[in-house]
Amino acid sequence: MSPETLVEDITGLLEVWVAGWAGCRGYRTSTEGRFPAALRADTTGEWEVFASEPTEDEFAALAVRTTESPARVLTILTNDPSRYTALAARHGLNVTSDTQTMMIVDMETQDAEDPWLSDDDLSLSTFEQDGVHYAEVRSGDAIAASGRVFVVGDTAVFDKIITQPAFQRRGLGSFIMRALAAQAFGHDVRTGLLLASADGQKLYSHLGWTTVARVLMLSASHDGTDLSLS
């Protein structure tokens, strides 16, 4: 599926991303009506439902299910965040995160070569396990930066791109993305997808990624963390 097609089909975009995100983390997936869901067994132990531009009736039904447990999360992919913020308030849900975005890239624009580190104190390791490709930069025994990617069809879904505070502002985020892209090119990939935090959006924009939708996380509680990192 090409980036242009995905941008036009937000539902398809979301389904591909959920499949890749769940693949990266080993989550079991299901559906809630027409929307995908993932069981966050390692964190909340609850299902998280992902909906793209649901109707008001669909949102009401999803809200009822979400309010049944404080740990449940309803994540909305939308280009009209104010509408769903208002609906959330009407149905007793709190916005726990509203700064994330879904981003997309044409993988043909990305570097297909394995990157190299100019700092002799750092080392790169890459490996694959259960279909997930990992990249880690270490300084001695300490992990300085890391990330993972899972391929769904012709789409590479990137996840948990993290640089530890002591190693930030050294270009390691870009380095990890290039290392993961090089692994993803072992598959016939055309498109890249990821969920970006507010800080990550600057990095990915610099690497040629573009935003296609805002992401709202809703819960009956006030607790929530960004999906891209948690």
Kindly state whether residues 94 and 110 are assigned to the same domain: no
Domain that holds residue 196: 106-210
Give me the phi and psi of 5, to 5 degrees please. Answer: -65, -40
Residue 7 is part of a domain; what is its CATH number? 3.40.630
Looking at per-residue confidence, does 2 or 134 come out higher? Answer: 134
Q: According to the model, what pLDDT value does residue 48 have?
A: 95
Residue 227 falls inside a structural domain: no
The number of distinct structural domains making up the chain is 2
What DSSP character marks residue 220? S
Kindly state whether residues 131 and 149 are assigned to the same domain: yes
Kindly state whether residues 87 and 151 are assigned to the same domain: no
Q: According to the model, what pLDDT value does residue 6 have?
A: 47
The per-residue pLDDT for range 6-35, each reduced to its tens digit, is: 445 888 999 999 999 999 999 999 999 999
The per-residue pLDDT for range 109-153, each reduced to its tens digit, is: 998 887 888 788 999 999 999 999 999 999 999 999 999 999 999
Residue 138 is part of a domain; what is its CATH number? 3.40.630.30
Cα(76)–Cα(55) distance, rounded to whole angstroms?
A: 11
Q: According to the model, what pLDDT value does residue 7 have?
A: 47
CB 151 within 8 A of CB 184: yes
Kindly state whether residues 136 and 195 are assigned to the same domain: yes
Query: What rounded mean pLDDT belongs to the chain?
Result: 91
The DSSP element (H or E) to which 210 belongs, if any, is strand 210-219
Secondary structure of 31-98 as H, E, C letters: EECCEEEEECCCCCCCEEEEEECCCHHHHHHHHHHHCCCCCCEEEEEECCHHHHHHHHHHCCCEEEEE
Q: According to the model, what pLDDT value does residue 226 have?
A: 60
Cα(144)–Cα(168) distance, rounded to whole angstroms?
A: 9
Residue 115 DSSP SS3: coil
